[in-house]
A and B are shown apart, each in its own frame.
Chain A
Amino acid sequence: LAKTTQPISMDSYEGQEVNITCSHNNIATNDYITWYQQFPSQGPRFIIQGYKTKVTNEVASLFIPADRKSSTLSLPRVSLSDTAVYYCLVGDFFPNAGKSTFGDGTTLTVKP
Protein backbone atom coordinates (compact mmCIF):
# COMPACT_ATOMS: atom_id res chain seq x y z
CA LEU A 1 0.00 0.00 0.00
CA ALA A 2 1.22 3.46 -0.87
CA LYS A 3 1.04 5.36 2.41
CA THR A 4 0.70 9.12 2.15
CA THR A 5 1.87 11.89 4.44
CA GLN A 6 0.51 15.42 4.48
CA PRO A 7 0.88 18.42 6.80
CA ILE A 8 -1.82 18.41 9.44
CA SER A 9 -2.78 22.04 8.95
CA MET A 10 -2.01 25.18 6.99
CA ASP A 11 -3.10 28.79 7.31
CA SER A 12 -3.39 31.28 4.50
CA TYR A 13 -4.96 34.61 3.64
CA GLU A 14 -7.45 35.46 0.96
CA GLY A 15 -5.89 36.04 -2.44
CA GLN A 16 -2.75 34.01 -1.74
CA GLU A 17 -1.62 30.89 -3.54
CA VAL A 18 -1.59 27.78 -1.37
CA ASN A 19 0.56 24.73 -2.00
CA ILE A 20 -0.12 21.49 -0.13
CA THR A 21 2.38 18.69 -0.53
CA CYS A 22 1.71 14.98 -0.15
CA SER A 23 4.50 12.43 0.22
CA HIS A 24 4.00 8.95 -1.18
CA ASN A 25 7.40 7.31 -1.27
CA ASN A 26 6.25 3.82 -2.20
CA ILE A 27 3.82 4.74 -4.95
CA ALA A 28 3.30 1.90 -7.40
CA THR A 29 3.66 2.09 -11.16
CA ASN A 30 -0.09 1.84 -11.75
CA ASP A 31 -1.08 4.31 -9.06
CA TYR A 32 -2.69 7.65 -9.79
CA ILE A 33 -2.70 10.62 -7.42
CA THR A 34 -6.03 12.18 -6.59
CA TRP A 35 -6.91 15.10 -4.36
CA TYR A 36 -10.23 15.56 -2.60
CA GLN A 37 -11.74 18.48 -0.70
CA GLN A 38 -14.04 18.05 2.27
CA PHE A 39 -16.19 20.70 3.90
CA PRO A 40 -17.67 20.14 7.38
CA SER A 41 -20.63 17.77 7.40
CA GLN A 42 -20.14 16.83 3.75
CA GLY A 43 -18.51 14.00 1.89
CA PRO A 44 -15.17 14.48 0.13
CA ARG A 45 -15.33 16.00 -3.32
CA PHE A 46 -12.94 15.33 -6.21
CA ILE A 47 -10.62 18.22 -7.07
CA ILE A 48 -7.94 16.98 -9.42
CA GLN A 49 -6.09 13.86 -10.52
CA GLY A 50 -2.81 13.11 -12.22
CA TYR A 51 -0.20 10.51 -13.01
CA LYS A 52 2.90 12.54 -13.74
CA THR A 53 4.12 16.09 -14.57
CA LYS A 54 1.50 18.81 -14.27
CA VAL A 55 -2.25 18.82 -14.46
CA THR A 56 -4.42 21.93 -14.35
CA ASN A 57 -8.16 22.42 -14.23
CA GLU A 58 -10.45 25.31 -13.38
CA VAL A 59 -10.01 24.74 -9.66
CA ALA A 60 -6.38 23.77 -9.04
CA SER A 61 -3.07 22.55 -10.39
CA LEU A 62 -1.28 19.35 -9.50
CA PHE A 63 2.48 19.10 -9.76
CA ILE A 64 4.11 15.67 -9.79
CA PRO A 65 7.91 15.33 -10.04
CA ALA A 66 9.52 12.73 -12.23
CA ASP A 67 10.09 10.25 -9.38
CA ARG A 68 6.39 10.56 -8.36
CA LYS A 69 7.28 10.20 -4.69
CA SER A 70 5.39 13.36 -3.86
CA SER A 71 2.79 15.66 -5.31
CA THR A 72 1.75 19.25 -4.70
CA LEU A 73 -1.76 20.61 -4.89
CA SER A 74 -1.75 24.28 -5.80
CA LEU A 75 -4.78 26.46 -5.15
CA PRO A 76 -4.47 29.88 -6.80
CA ARG A 77 -5.84 32.96 -5.04
CA VAL A 78 -7.73 31.22 -2.26
CA SER A 79 -10.89 32.63 -0.77
CA LEU A 80 -12.62 32.05 2.56
CA SER A 81 -14.74 29.35 0.94
CA ASP A 82 -11.62 27.27 0.28
CA THR A 83 -11.35 26.57 4.01
CA ALA A 84 -11.66 22.80 4.14
CA VAL A 85 -9.76 19.57 4.65
CA TYR A 86 -7.75 18.41 1.65
CA TYR A 87 -6.96 14.73 1.19
CA CYS A 88 -4.39 13.10 -1.01
CA LEU A 89 -5.25 9.62 -2.32
CA VAL A 90 -2.87 7.30 -4.08
CA GLY A 91 -4.37 4.30 -5.76
CA ASP A 92 -5.23 2.20 -8.70
CA PHE A 93 -8.60 1.24 -10.16
CA PHE A 94 -10.77 -1.63 -8.88
CA PRO A 95 -9.99 -4.18 -7.54
CA ASN A 96 -6.80 -2.55 -6.40
CA ALA A 97 -8.78 0.55 -5.46
CA GLY A 98 -9.94 -1.32 -2.41
CA LYS A 99 -6.41 -1.00 -1.17
CA SER A 100 -6.12 2.72 -1.77
CA THR A 101 -5.30 4.82 1.23
CA PHE A 102 -6.28 8.38 1.94
CA GLY A 103 -3.76 10.65 3.58
CA ASP A 104 -4.68 11.99 6.98
CA GLY A 105 -5.76 15.25 5.42
CA THR A 106 -4.58 18.84 5.61
CA THR A 107 -6.87 21.33 7.26
CA LEU A 108 -6.57 24.59 5.33
CA THR A 109 -7.81 27.71 7.06
CA VAL A 110 -8.14 30.80 4.92
CA LYS A 111 -8.27 34.05 6.85
CA PRO A 112 -9.59 37.42 5.66
Chain B
Amino acid sequence: DTAVSQTPKYLVTQMGNDKSIKCEQNLGHDTMYWYKQDSKKFLKIMFSYNNKELIINETVPNRFSPKSPDKAHLNLHINSLELGDSAVYFCASSHGGVPETQYFGPGTRLLVL
Protein backbone atom coordinates (compact mmCIF):
# COMPACT_ATOMS: atom_id res chain seq x y z
CA ASP B 1 0.00 0.00 0.00
CA THR B 2 3.04 2.26 -0.39
CA ALA B 3 1.89 5.62 -1.74
CA VAL B 4 5.13 6.61 -3.46
CA SER B 5 7.66 3.88 -4.15
CA GLN B 6 11.14 3.99 -5.61
CA THR B 7 13.47 1.33 -6.93
CA PRO B 8 16.17 0.54 -6.24
CA LYS B 9 16.63 1.57 -2.64
CA TYR B 10 20.41 1.43 -2.96
CA LEU B 11 22.50 1.88 -6.08
CA VAL B 12 26.29 1.52 -6.17
CA THR B 13 27.96 2.04 -9.51
CA GLN B 14 31.13 3.17 -11.24
CA MET B 15 31.86 6.56 -12.72
CA GLY B 16 30.82 6.87 -16.32
CA ASN B 17 27.97 4.38 -16.09
CA ASP B 18 24.37 5.11 -17.02
CA LYS B 19 21.67 4.27 -14.50
CA SER B 20 17.95 4.71 -13.91
CA ILE B 21 15.82 5.13 -10.85
CA LYS B 22 12.13 4.30 -11.03
CA CYS B 23 9.30 5.99 -9.20
CA GLU B 24 5.65 5.03 -8.98
CA GLN B 25 2.78 6.63 -7.11
CA ASN B 26 -0.66 5.12 -6.50
CA LEU B 27 -2.26 8.27 -5.12
CA GLY B 28 -3.81 9.37 -8.38
CA HIS B 29 -1.74 12.53 -8.33
CA ASP B 30 -1.02 14.40 -11.52
CA THR B 31 2.25 16.06 -10.54
CA MET B 32 5.53 14.35 -9.73
CA TYR B 33 8.96 15.56 -8.68
CA TRP B 34 12.55 14.51 -8.31
CA TYR B 35 14.71 15.90 -5.51
CA LYS B 36 18.37 15.48 -4.68
CA GLN B 37 19.53 15.47 -1.07
CA ASP B 38 23.26 15.76 -0.53
CA SER B 39 25.35 14.71 2.44
CA LYS B 40 24.60 17.99 4.20
CA LYS B 41 20.88 17.21 4.00
CA PHE B 42 20.14 20.08 1.61
CA LEU B 43 17.05 19.17 -0.37
CA LYS B 44 17.05 20.55 -3.90
CA ILE B 45 14.33 20.15 -6.48
CA MET B 46 15.52 18.81 -9.81
CA PHE B 47 12.36 18.40 -11.86
CA SER B 48 8.63 18.72 -11.58
CA TYR B 49 6.34 17.12 -14.13
CA ASN B 50 2.63 17.49 -14.75
CA ASN B 51 1.15 15.52 -17.64
CA LYS B 52 3.39 16.57 -20.47
CA GLU B 53 4.75 19.74 -18.96
CA LEU B 54 8.21 19.55 -17.49
CA ILE B 55 9.78 22.16 -15.27
CA ILE B 56 13.52 21.80 -15.02
CA ASN B 57 15.77 23.29 -12.39
CA GLU B 58 18.32 25.05 -14.52
CA THR B 59 21.16 23.99 -12.26
CA VAL B 60 20.60 20.31 -13.09
CA PRO B 61 23.12 18.94 -15.64
CA ASN B 62 21.60 17.63 -18.84
CA ARG B 63 23.01 14.21 -17.97
CA PHE B 64 19.88 13.90 -15.85
CA SER B 65 16.65 13.29 -17.71
CA PRO B 66 13.20 12.48 -16.36
CA LYS B 67 10.93 10.19 -18.32
CA SER B 68 7.24 9.69 -17.63
CA PRO B 69 5.63 6.72 -19.36
CA ASP B 70 2.32 7.57 -17.70
CA LYS B 71 0.85 9.75 -14.97
CA ALA B 72 1.75 7.31 -12.21
CA HIS B 73 5.41 6.95 -13.09
CA LEU B 74 8.35 9.34 -13.31
CA ASN B 75 11.72 7.72 -13.84
CA LEU B 76 15.09 9.40 -13.60
CA HIS B 77 17.84 8.53 -16.05
CA ILE B 78 21.39 9.56 -15.33
CA ASN B 79 24.09 9.34 -17.98
CA SER B 80 27.84 9.34 -17.47
CA LEU B 81 27.66 9.26 -13.69
CA GLU B 82 30.11 11.40 -11.75
CA LEU B 83 31.35 11.24 -8.18
CA GLY B 84 29.35 14.35 -7.32
CA ASP B 85 26.14 12.60 -8.26
CA SER B 86 26.38 10.56 -5.07
CA ALA B 87 23.36 11.53 -2.99
CA VAL B 88 19.91 10.42 -1.97
CA TYR B 89 17.30 10.97 -4.65
CA PHE B 90 13.69 11.39 -3.62
CA CYS B 91 10.64 11.14 -5.76
CA ALA B 92 7.49 12.96 -4.69
CA SER B 93 4.00 13.52 -5.97
CA SER B 94 1.20 15.97 -5.37
CA HIS B 95 -2.30 16.65 -6.53
CA GLY B 96 -1.08 19.83 -8.13
CA GLY B 97 -3.89 21.90 -6.83
CA VAL B 98 -3.79 24.72 -4.33
CA PRO B 99 -2.61 24.33 -1.69
CA GLU B 100 -0.05 21.75 -2.64
CA THR B 101 1.13 18.93 -0.41
CA GLN B 102 3.89 16.68 -1.59
CA TYR B 103 4.18 13.00 -0.69
CA PHE B 104 7.71 11.65 -0.77
CA GLY B 105 9.07 8.24 -1.56
CA PRO B 106 11.62 6.48 0.68
CA GLY B 107 14.60 7.62 -1.37
CA THR B 108 17.28 5.96 -3.49
CA ARG B 109 20.79 6.10 -2.11
CA LEU B 110 23.21 6.46 -5.00
CA LEU B 111 26.92 5.95 -4.51
CA VAL B 112 29.25 6.56 -7.43
CA LEU B 113 32.71 5.05 -7.06
- A and B from one complex: yes
Hey, which bits of chain A sit against chain B, CB under 8 A? 32, 34, 36, 41-46, 49, 51, 85, 87, 91-95, 97-102, 104-105, 107
B106 touches A97 (CB 8 A): no
User: Which of B42, B100, B105, B107 contacts A97 (CB under 8 A)?
Assistant: B100
Is B102 among interface residues, defined by CB-CB distance under 8 A?
A: yes
Q: Across the A-B interface, give the 4 residue pairs with the lowest CB-CB distance, nearest first.
A: A98-B55, A43-B104, A98-B48, A102-B43
In B46-99, the 8 Å CB interface with A consists of: 47-48, 50, 53, 55-57, 90, 92, 94, 96-99
A98 touches B57 (CB 8 A): yes
Chain B residues within an 8 Å CB radius of A42: 106-107
Chain B residues within an 8 Å CB radius of A100: 45
Residue with the greatest number of chain B CB neighbours at <10 A, chosen from A42, A51, A93: A93
Hey, which bits of chain B sit against chain A, CB under 8 A? 4, 31, 33, 41-45, 47-48, 50, 53, 55-57, 90, 92, 94, 96-107
B90 touches A95 (CB 8 A): no
Q: Which residue in chain B gives the minimum CB-CB distance to A51? A: B99
Chain B residues within an 8 Å CB radius of A34: 99-102
B100 touches A94 (CB 8 A): yes
Chain B residues within an 8 Å CB radius of A101: 45
- Complex CA gap A44/B102 in Å reads 9
- A44 and B55 contact, Cβ closer than 8 Å, known pairs A93-B97, A94-B31: no
User: Which of A32, A44, A107 contacts B98 (CB under 8 A)?
Assistant: A32
CB distance from A39 to the nearest CB of B (A): 11
CB distance from B57 to the nearest CB of A (A): 7
- Complex CA gap A85/B48 in Å reads 23
CB distance from A94 to the nearest CB of B (A): 5
- A85 and B105 contact, Cβ closer than 8 Å, known pairs A91-B100, A94-B50, A95-B55: no
CB distance from A81 to the nearest CB of B (A): 18
Chain B residues within an 8 Å CB radius of A51: 99
